Amino acid sequence: MNLLFRSVRIIDPHSAFHNQVVDVWIEDGIIRKMGENLAAISSGQEIRQEGLCISPGWCDLRVHAKDPGYEAKEDLYSLKRAAAAGGFTEVVLLPNTKPVVQRKESLNYFRSFSEDQAVQFLPTAALTLGCEGKDFTEMLDLHHAGAVAFTDGEEPIWNADILLKSLQYLAQVNGLLIQRPEEPTLTVHGQMHEGNMSTMLGMRGIPTMAEELMIQRDLRLLEYAVETFDLRPRLHFSLVSTARSVELIRQAKAQGLPVTCDTAAHYLAFTDEDLVGFDTNLKVMPPFRPASEVEALRAALADGTIDALVSDHYPQDTESKNLEFDLADFGISSLETAFATALTYGNLGLEKVLELFTANPRSVLQRNPVTIAEGKIAQLTAFNPDEEWTVSLADWQSKGKNTPFVGKTLRGKVYGVVNQGTSTFHSKPLSFKV
């Protein structure tokens, strides 16, 4: 690969060129030179686009792969294209496939597919067999085989004894446990947030307490593991959605407990009132909450209580969504809109949004930081943060068309990614010189 970016703005607080407009020459996957008016390259691609920025490549902590087992909803090829179109160079895959990711061969399936690709798949492994919460997987073997974390993915770890023993076990190898906090007996048949809107619409509600009770329980178990066994297990809550959840985690962090958390970008864009039209593309778990809860999420992102933003990409086929609301499956196809959603609705500013998609997710995973500097491996995302675009399925890359953003205008346009010695650009016009 021989690639020259002309007059791009660098957005990377750890780079000596942060907020400067420079040329960037990449050869064989390495950033060879940065500066003004670099010499033209004799072969390869020269890219010039007004308003173009580059940052360290974005990392998504929560993606539903669907492949193997549910390839009609998404396969690895469409997933790779969707991730690149969304600006992500690394995506963490949940284990809820068929078969469940609980063997070393399953980890290798994802890792080998993404070798030498612009998008790198980072597979998690199931914490319990079949993600059923009843018995442990071979966590030690899976850890050494490359699982970046352990989780039951879309299923909450409901068994307190399993969770406590897992924290103790994983602490021995510095493993990360990801929990989606939900007390499942309180969400049975639930369709949307429990409140005035659910009553008005005649739908079974999902109370905030279902999330908050699980977080409260798990934090107490984490505290017990730390104090009783002198361990430092790593616990990460995925998809927090309520003000009380945020406050519990804020207090735990102040106490010094080793806990992190994330929320999905689309939770900043919608409230439960948006479900008045019964659009099944707005059916997600946890559900969209009232505006007061959304404001609490924005505040927690701004002050660092919430460590990362995720897409929670959950592609569904038409048959799973084109149904009555109570029969439709949960989930949004969101890789391609996550960044623009956060920038448009988060009220956080560009650098904070990028931090939530770059440095912070890698810190949660304890992966090496990525920076833009001469001699460093080129892992970057090219985008225009000020460009507005209208979401259309005509150029949609994911097989899952279940997005509520069709026809909406968002701010922040991704042009492409560079990673592992290759590049993928989806948006035009770009000026190329071969």
The helix (H) or strand (E) run that includes residue 354 is: helix 350-357
Residue 105 burial (CB < 10 Å; 0-12/13-18/19+)?
A: exposed
Q: Is the alpha carbon torsion for 238, 240, 261, 347 positive or negative?
A: positive
> What angle is formed at CA 147 by the lines to CA 146 and CA 153, rounded to 5 degrees?
165
Placement of tokens 């908050």 in the chain: 212
- 121 close to 89: Cβ distance less than 8 angstroms: no
**Whether residue 395 lies in the annotated active site:** no
Q: How many Cβ atoms from other residues are within 10 Å of residue 145's Cβ?
A: 17
* Catalytic-role residue among 12, 272, 307, 312: 312
Q: Residue 81, SS3?
A: helix
29-36: long-range contacts, CB 8 A cutoff, minimum separation 24: 29/1, 29/377, 29/378, 29/420, 29/421, 29/422, 30/375, 30/376, 30/377, 30/378, 31/372, 31/373, 31/374, 31/375, 31/376, 31/377, 31/378, 32/374, 32/375, 33/374, 34/10, 34/372, 34/373, 34/374
DSSP string, 213-260: HHHHHHHHHHHHHHHHH----EEEE----SHHHHHHHHHHHHHT--EE
Query: Of 382, 289, 391, which is closest to residue 341 (Cα–Cα)?
Result: 391
Phi, psi angles (nearest 5°) of residue 226: -70, -50
- 357 close to 339: Cβ distance less than 8 angstroms: yes
Query: Of 13, 73, 116, 3, which is closest to residue 415 (Cα–Cα)?
Result: 3
| CA pair distance 33, 3, nearest whole angstrom | 11
Phi, psi angles (nearest 5°) of residue 60: -110, 125
Query: Of 180, 159, 161, which is closest to residue 261 (Cα–Cα)?
Result: 180
Q: Return the exposure string of 168-192: e unless at least 16 CB atoms fall within 10 Å of the residue's CB, then b.
A: bbbbeeebbbbbbbbbeebbeebbb
| CA pair distance 133, 140, nearest whole angstrom | 18
Q: Which positions are annotated as active-site residues?
A: 312
